[in-house]
Each structure stands twice: as C-alpha cells, then as structure tokens.
C-alpha cells in the first residue's frame, strides 16, 4: 500500500518526556502505564508493552516518540491517549523510538 505525503501529514508524531510511570498488572500482556509531557499539548497517558527492556522507574525523564492524534483507547481500566512508538528487536520485544539528543517537548516529526 502506498500513502500520499498528505496522508502521512495527518499523523501527528511528537516527542515528549516521561514524567511518571506505574505498573499495569491488569493488562493482558505485561505493560507499563506512562504519563508523558508533550509541552504545549500537555500531559498525555499511554500504556506500553515495553517491560522486556525497560524498568518502570528508569523511564522517568526519558524522551519518547508518540502518535498524539489517534482516538483514545480503553485498555482494561486505563485510558491510553497516545501511541508510544517502538520497533521490535530480534525476539519481538519493543525498543522505544527516541531522539538521540534532547529536543523540546511537543516537537513534531518532520
């Protein structure tokens, strides 16, 4: 399938900093609840299946990349407001996408 540049431009991908994390034992697959500061967009919540590579407390202060304009999604008792992006490693476990240098929260992918 091919997308036009205009179609891709509708996906709002931004960077934010994780401000808080909590375990998510109610999730069907192991996951972590994250609160992420997207600057002028405010703080948004996400559930991410990243427990293979990341400890809950170690994520605080880390910048992540997320889609911020998908509809919120109910995951068990938690409402996930953004989709944090990652790529699978050789075992299929998620490795988070992040800038290699600090950038302002809320910066949009170009």
Q: What is the pLDDT of residues 47-86, one digit of tens each?
A: 999 999 999 999 999 999 999 999 999 999 999 999 999 9
pLDDT tens digits for 18-39? Answer: 999 999 999 999 999 999 999 9
Residue 37 burial (CB count, 10 A): 16
The mean of the pLDDT values for the chain is 96
Q: Which domains does the chain have, with CATH numbers?
A: 18-96 (2.40.50.140)
């Amino acid at each position: 399938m091919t997308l036009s540049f205009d179609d891709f431009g509708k996906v709002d991908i931004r960077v934010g900093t994780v401000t808080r994390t909590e375990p998510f034992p109610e999730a069907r697959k192991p996951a972590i609840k994250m609160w992420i500061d997207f600057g002028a967009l405010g703080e948004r919540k996400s559930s991410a299946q990243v427990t293979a590579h990341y400890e809950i407390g170690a994520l605080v202060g880390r910048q992540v990349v997320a889609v911020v304009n998908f509809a919120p999604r109910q995951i068990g008792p938690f409402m996930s407001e953004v989709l944090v992006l990652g790529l699978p490693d050789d075992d299929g476990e998620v490795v988070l996408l992040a800038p290699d240098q600090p950038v302002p929260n809320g910066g949009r992918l170009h």
